[in-house]
Each structure stands twice: as structure tokens, then as C-alpha cells.
Structure 1
Amino acid sequence: MGKTTGFIEYEREEAVDRDPIERVKDWKEYSAPFTDEVLSRQGARCMDCSIPFCHIGMDIGGATSGCPVYNLIPEWNDLVYKGKWKEALERLLKTNNFPEFTGRVCPAPCEGSCTVAISEPAVSIKNIEQSIIDKGFENGWITPRIPDKRTGKTVAIIGSGPSGMAAADQLNQVGHQVTIYERSDRAGGLLTYGIPNMKLDKDVVNRRIQLLEQEGIKFVLNTEVGEDITADELKEQYDSVIVCTGAQKARDLIVEGREAVGAHLAMDFLTAATKNVLDNKEVPDTLDAEGKDVIVIGGGDTGADCVATALRQGANSISQFAINPALPLKRTSDNMWPEYPQVFSLEYAHKEAKEKFGEDVREYSIQTKKFVTDETGKLKELHTIEMVKTRDENGMFVYEENPGTEKIWPAELVVIAIGFEGPEHPLLEQFGVKTNRQKIDAAYGEFATNVEGVFAAGDARRGPSLIVWAINEGREVAYAVDHYLMGATSLPTTLAV
């Protein structure tokens, strides 16, 4: 795969992103594409490693290692190296329904388990993936695939995120009539309102949705199943139902003063900002970072997106809190290849903030103690204490307060981005679907709930996870549903179902 000695001859090259100071002035995608010449060199770095761990797609050490949709990475790396772009696109689309999404927002566990990464920087898999699909659209190679015939079977999918759309795409291609119900005013789920425009341009999302519509999939927007249409009505009208509602229930921070005006959950903050970009809808003052001291609580990707959003809104200052210590600069002995590398990095938002304010805005080992308001109930400050992370007698990590490290932070806007708990339960109760630990109880590989004809996939079943896992589950639930409806299926699967 690639050039035999490419990984020795060529170094990894990073994309030359737009200037951080300039890009925070707009909401356009921050990344800039590689040239074909650079991409060929990067594809050449893919070595003939015999066992390509880049697409093992499994959890190791509590994190994903390798590609969960089992992309044929060495194959399309080799084709890009040789300039065979159309062939590379064909190989990519065999396993991934939406590489334009994963190529932009996936954290690239494939690169963490790349064999080159044992001793050198990994092959630029993610950038190559995005370039392949973007070139496919640019050259008109991607056109509507209209099924030759219809089966007469109907499937309703609740939720238009990546798992719902992947399931719809697969089922539509084998001839079933698929309808996706979405309670929001736009399809796409978190792809639309949970990920800001500068990270995933909504034209990219809309382009895919329009293609799915042209292929025969119907999207019903502004319709909440359970209210606008009942679970019983849905089961009566369709031969099968798939619940792909995601893990919409955000984890909140229950501390003194949480009710302060100016303290918000991340999705509320990000959604308001995106609606402003797409519809020029005014951002409510309490959700607008302009001129304010902003604190983002949560050290993950969503927190970083909130930092980038606050920057573009014109925040006076920004701090991002993480309860964990800073990650090491290099892999530690308990985080060896091919595990996902738990190492320190500067994400796009942190690079922007560092350029804007002259320093990294992240604060580590911080626990919020309380919110404090002024006499009108508006947030004015945040009280914190430093935490010490240790192991108890059972080897489990525990956090203890470090006395004397209390601090008061000025804050007029706080965004809470500490993750999600699972799906919202009223809809599940109406269906009579059982849950287990906040998630829908449906075994991976079967995806069937306790209710006849009702299946579940994505974050609603799996719990909060990666977009690439959502696509995996969408593809696999489609296999299960097609088999349920027809008694057999021609859809691909990586599972022994």
C-alpha cells in the first residue's frame, strides 16, 4: 500500500488552516484543503503493514481504536498516491455513507492505531478521506442512486442524525420506503445544531440531505414523535420503526446558583449561534458572548466548539475548565499503541483562543463550587477549587479537593459542556421500550427492542459516542431491519447476525 519506502522518505504534513485571527471574524470552515501533490505524498506514507490496525474499530482501554466503519484505508491511500481518485472514492463509499462528515469532525481513532504511529506521526488519514469525498462531489461523480424497484415495505426512522440517515440510506437502497421524522426545523441532528458551522459547514450537511431526498427518502420536519404523532400511530402506519433519537439529555451541573441568568447548557448555546448564522435569527442576550467574560465548563470537543463560538461572538475573555489534569505530551506506558493516544494537543478552537488572548485558555483540575449572581439574578462570578486526581485502594480514580485553592472568576456567561446522559425517556415510555442504564435496551448486532418491529441504534442505544460509531450502528441496524422485513438481506454487515 502506498510507496514501499514512503513512510521513510516523507514526513507527515499538516493542513495549512486559515489564519486563526482572520477566521474568527467569520463562520466559514477553518480548514484549508491539501493540494493533490501533498495528498499523493501523504498517501505514499501508508506502509504495507500486513495487518492494518487503522480499521480494527474496537474499544481498547475505554476508548475507540481504529475505524468503527472499517474503512478500507490502505486501499484508498494507495489509490490517492497513484492519482486514481475515482477508484479511491468507490472504495471509501463501500464502508462509509458520509465521509464528508467523518473527514471533518471525527477525532480520527484510525490515526491513533496507524502502524506508522508506533514510532512516527501517523498517516494523514482524516485529511485524505475528506479530500476524496470532496473531490467526488466537485467532479460530479456522486449522483442520486435511485433503487431499481421497491419492496412495498415501509420504515419510519425517528431522528435525522448520522445513525438515522445511515440506516435510511442503506434501507432505501434495497428498495424500502423510508421516512425520517425530525422534531427540529432542519434535518441533520447534532450535525446541524450541535457542531458549529466553522467545523462543519451546513451546506455540506444540506448537500447530503438533498441527495438522500432525491434518492427517495422522505424527511418530515417540525414533527415530534410522541406528541405530533403517537407511537401507536407510527407502528400502525409502518412495517418497522427505528429509534435514532441520540443522547439528547444533557448532563447538568447541579451546584448552588445554577439557576443564574447566564448559565446555559452547551446545546442551547450552540443551537442559538447556528440559527443566527443560518437564519440571521438574533441570539438572545443571555446566550450571546459579545463583550462578556465567558467560562466553558467541560474539557471535551463540545467545550472546544463553545470556545470557538464565543470567540466569534466577540467574548471579552474566555476560560475553559476541565476536571482532569492536562494530558502528557507523549504516550505513557499505560496508553500504548494501538490505543487512542491520550496526549496533549491544541484543537482548532484553542489555537484561535491562544492567538486572540496570548495564552491557552484551558484550566485543568478545576471543580466549580457555585454560581453567584447580582441583585437582579444575573450571573456575575464563578467560585472554584482545584482538584487532585488519585487512585483509591481499589485502583479506581477519585477526585479530592485541594484546600486553600479556592478562586473567584468573573463570569457573565457560563456554558456547561460536560456530556450527555442518554435519550429522553417520554418517547421510549410511549413505545413501551425498555431501557438499561439510561440507554435503550437493544443488543448490539440485533438492535431489536422488546417491542415487536421496533429497533434502536446510535447514541440512543449505545450512549454518547462518536459520529463514526453512529454511522456504524445505522448501517448495522439497517441489516437487522431488512432481515426482519424480508427474511434475508443483501446488505453488508461486519457482524455475524
Structure 2
Amino acid sequence: MGKPTGFLEFDRKEAVHKEPLERIRDFQEFKKPLSLKEQQKQGARCMECGVPFCQSGMMIAGMASGCPLHNLVPETNDLVYRGKWKQAYDRLAKTHSFPEFTSRVCPALCEAACTCNINGEPVATKENERAIIEKAWEEGWVTPQKIPVRTGKKVAVIGSGPSGLAVAQELNRRGHEVTVFERRDRIGGLLRYGIPNMKLDKSVIDRRVKLMEAEGVVFQTGVDVGKDRKASQIRKEFDRVVLACGASNPRDISVPGREAGNICFAVDFLTSVTKSLLDSNFEDKQYISPKGKDVLVIGGGDTGNDCVGTAIRLGAKSVTQLEMMPEPPKERTLQNPWPEWPRVLKTDYGQEEAIAVFGKDPRIYQTTVTEFIKDEKGNVKKAKIVKLAPEKDEKTGRMNMVPVEGTEEERPAQLVLIAAGFLGSQKYVTDAFGTDLNPRTNVLTKPEEYETSVPGVFVAGDMHRGQSLVVWAIAEGRKAAEAVDRSLMGSSF
């Protein structure tokens, strides 16, 4: 242990954020990392616990506690403290495929399970990891790995999100010939088009993709397997297939007036904005514009927050975010002890920006939409909303959120963004490959396994486990790659 009293001597310190009114002027990343010297102090705060919950990656009370990748967190934190950056990178790379992604977009499950979190603030492990990987890129330590022997086996990966990229990287490094098929015009899946540029600059993805290409991975964009290419053809050409298409079915809401214009899914809004930004820096105007409109975001999660921040940057007149559930407490309750994931109030960057621009938090809790009202052109102009209250179902014992009579009101809304989550995999893909599904329409496998009901066809990521985090997708991709390798070679390393 490098600094036994580090957690007592040094306060937690995070990257400096640009002020909200400054950062909303563009779509650039707005966090300024600490100096390496300051970051070393953050590494010193790690207690190197005998039982490091930070790297456990276990499920507690239905939620993840600790890193699903089982990163060797105390070891990397200690190496950061000692300034041994090359060793820190080597250690991190043993368990992690893409630290540059998670160190920007992960909610830091490792930090939530940090022992320092019991009576203080957790170690800044997420930013330590970002410092490690960016130092590694800067110093030229992240280089294409030489593949000494090729097996002659060919694997198709369908989808280039975080799980697909992880599968491709691992299988290619095991000597197999890997081709990744992506239906969109650029590689990255959710990373590319589901996460705004100010959270994850797309040059970060491009940098990694170029390195994977140099290692031998083949990427084909604009190929929608199940439509442009038949599944049967793919199966003939390749020894194994891995489905990594994500949980791509957005959850809709069914209320009167839903057919009105200017009501769209959050993923379509965010995709259109990022594509226009990348294609022309918005000059082509080929994006769903919130400019001058009262924007209503339905959904209180990360995607809803991304919609808030994006809408503000593009000139929304106002932004309101509806959340069906009650406002979380500001601190852990006795019913939510450490090391469970903390169910506490979090004010993210988009909400901070809304407060700075409009003078108030955009979130309205325990509220839902009951109807959309159209204007004379058939576009949405207002939304009827109602307050909700928890009510116990006597038959099932579950708590349901039910409308409270007399709380109905109307709100102006000329653009509605539905950010209510995702329901599962897309039917045309699973039909094309003939895979069995579970009741949530995720691809079915045996517990802790990755081969589907169709021999030789595997699955990873959100398509397997349902809508989840980037870190879970990467973990799934690595495990699926091991299963595919074992299927091809009889064993895996």
C-alpha cells in the first residue's frame, strides 16, 4: 500500500468542469482533467482494502455493486499514486478493453462500492483510469498487437457497439479473422450515436477503431444484416456469428394524440444531432431541431438528461423532464446500505445546465403524460400531464404509480422526446437467425452462457442482458469472445 494515510490526508478532487453557461456554446467535452501530479494524490486515497468491493462486480438487491470487468482497482490506484503510469496501463489493460470509453460515460460502479464511501467520499477511480489511458495514448503505449498465429477461423460480429467491439478485439487477438457488420454509416453503435459528443468525443472512438483495423479487424458499415445481407449467407461464410445489436426497441407511450408530429424517440433525436454534427457541423440542417421550442422530455434517466443538455445547446425555448417515480433522497437510507448501488438524487450535467439557463431544475417527479394536443398542422403543441402517487396492488403486493385525481394540467410542448428506455432486441434480426427469446425479447441463452438456441450463433451485450451500461456491454463482449474461442478451439486463454 503506497500511502496508508492517503484517504485521511487528501480530499477527493475531480476534473474541473467548464461553467454551464460556457459549455453549452458547443458540443465539445467540457471536463478538464487534473494534472498528473494531482491525480497521483487521488490514487493515494485508495485504502487497498483486504476485500476490494470496488472490483467485485456482484449483484446486490438487483443492482450491480463494483466493476463488472473486475478491474484490479487497488493495484492500478497504487500505481497511479507511485507515478508508475506504464505499469498502471499494463495492469488496467489486462481486464479492460476500452478504458477511454468507460472513464467518460460509466456511472462508476467501482466508486459506489468503494470503502471510503461509507463515511466519506470514494476514491476517484474513474478519473484515475482516464488519466492512465490518456497518458498511455499520449506516450504511444497503446499500439497494435501483433497476432503471431492465425487460426483460419472466421467470425462475424453483428453490431459495433461496446459489446461488439469488445468481442471483435478479443477474438482477433486470439488469432481468428473477425469481420464486424454495422448497419449505420459509422462504427460505434450506442457509443457513436446514442451518447452526445460532449460526453464522449467521437475522435476517441475513431482512435480505437483505427488501432483495431491495424490489428486486423475488418469493419463493414452500411450493412444491415437481416435486411441487406441474409443471415443464412452470413452463417455460410463464417464459422461463428456473434449478435451484438443492442436493445434497440425504444419503449413507447400509448396516450391519445401520440400520432402528432414532433413526437419522437430520444435515440432518434440524439442520433440525428450527432450525425449532423459529424457530417457538416449542423450546416446540413438534417437533425431534429428544438430551437425556439418548448421541449418535453419523458424519462428521467441518463438518456433523458442527454436530451436536456442537447436541446439546450441547440436553442430550446424551455426544457421540462418528466419522471414517473418519486424524487430520490439526497443521502442513502437505511434500506439502501453500502455497498449497494446508492439510490440517491443525482443532478447531472444537463440538469445543471437547465438550472443555469432557465433558473430551475427541469425535472418534475411523480408525473406522466395523459394526452398530447395537436395544432392545426397536426403537430404537438401541448401535453396534458397528471401527478402520480404510489399505491399497493393488493393481489401482487407491488407498488404502482397511479394518477391523482384533480392534479391534471397542460404544458406547452412543440417537441416531445420519449426517453423511457428500451424493451429488447429487434425482431427482424432475431427472426433472421431464428434465435429463441426470453419474455423480455432478449436473446435467450443458458444462465452464464452466450451461445443461443442456434448452434454457432452467440450473443453479447444489451441484446443478451437487456438495456444496461457500457461497462456491462464490454464485460459481456469479453466473456462471449471466450465462449466463442472455446467453441472453435476446444479451450481458451
TM range (shorter): over 0.9
CA deviations 1:385-417 (Å, max 9, x no partner) are 000124444542211211111111001001000
In structure 2, what is the equivalent of residue 345 of structure 1? 346
Q: Tell me how far apart the structure 2 counterparts of residues 332 and 391 of structure 1 sit (CA, whole Å).
A: 21
Question: Match of 2:465, as an amino acid?
Answer: R
> Which residue is equivalent to 1:157?
157
Q: Quote the offset at 1:41 in angstroms.
A: 1.1
Q: Confirm whether residue 436 of structure 1 aligns to residue 433 of structure 2.
A: no
Q: Is the 8 A contact 2:261 2:378 kept in 1?
A: yes
One-letter code aligned to 1:400? V
Q: Point out the more displaced range, 209-218 or 384-393.
A: 384-393
- Aligned AA (2:88): A
1:454 to 439, 454, 457: 457
Task: Provide the C-alpha distance between the structure 2 equivalents of 1:124 and 1:219, rounded to a whole number of angstroms.
Answer: 35
Q: Deviations over 1:149-174 (max 9, x none)?
A: 10000000000001011011011001
Say whether residues 1:209 and 2:209 are aligned partners: yes
Per the alignment, in what secondary structure is the counterpart of residue 423 of structure 2?
strand
Counterpart residue identity of residue 266, structure 2:
A
Which residue type is aligned with residue 452 of structure 2?
T
Partner of 2:312: 311
Question: 1:34-45 counterparts in 2 under 5 A?
Answer: 34-45=34-45
1:63 positional shift: 1.7
Distance (whole Å) between structure 2 residues aligned to residue 269 and residue 283 of structure 1: 13
Residues 344-423 of structure 1 aligned to structure 2 (within 5 Å): 344-393=345-394, 395-423=397-425
Residue 327 of structure 2 corresponds to residue 326 of structure 1? yes
Question: What amino acid is the match of 1:23?
Answer: R
Opposite residue 411 of structure 1, the aligned amino acid is A
> Where in structure 2 are there 5+ consecutive unaligned residues?
none
Spell out, residue by residue over 1:348-371, the C-alpha distance to the aligned partner (whole angstroms, 9 max, x if none). 111111111111111111011011
SS of equivalent to 1:242: strand
Q: Answer whether contact 2:223 2:229 (CA < 8 A) is retained.
A: yes
Contact 2:260 2:380 in 1 (8 A): yes
1:476 corresponds to which of 453, 473, 479: 479
Unaligned 5+ runs, structure 1: 491-497
Give me the whole-angstrom Cα distance separating, in 2, the residues matched to 1:91 and 1:239.
Answer: 32
TM-score by length of 2: 0.97
2:4 corresponding residue in structure 1: 4
- C-alpha distance in 1, partners of 2:269/2:449? 36
Question: Which deviates more, 185-194 or 5-14?
Answer: 5-14
Report what 2:256 is aligned to.
Answer: 256
- Amino acid aligned to 1:481: V
Q: CA deviation at 1:449?
A: 0.8
SS in 2 for 1:76: helix
- Alpha-carbon distance in 2 for matches of 1:226, 1:181: 11
Counterparts of residues 171-182 of structure 1 (less than 5 Å) = 171-182=171-182
Distance in 2 (alpha carbons) for counterparts of 1:283 and 1:72: 46
**2:305 aligned with 1:297, yes or no?**
no
Distance (Å, rounded) in 2 between the aligned partners of 1:89 and 1:237 = 37
What RMSD in Å do the two structures reach over aligned CA positions?
Answer: 1.1
Distance 1:71 1:318 in 2: 38
Q: What amino acid is the match of 1:477?
A: A
Structure 1 length as normaliser, TM-score? 0.97
| 1:2–1:43 contact (8 Å) kept in structure 2 | no
1:454: how far off? 0.6
1:259-312 CA distances to partner (integer Å, 9 max, x unpaired)?
A: 111111001100110012100253457x20111110110000000000010011
CA distance in 1, matches of 2:77, 2:465: 30
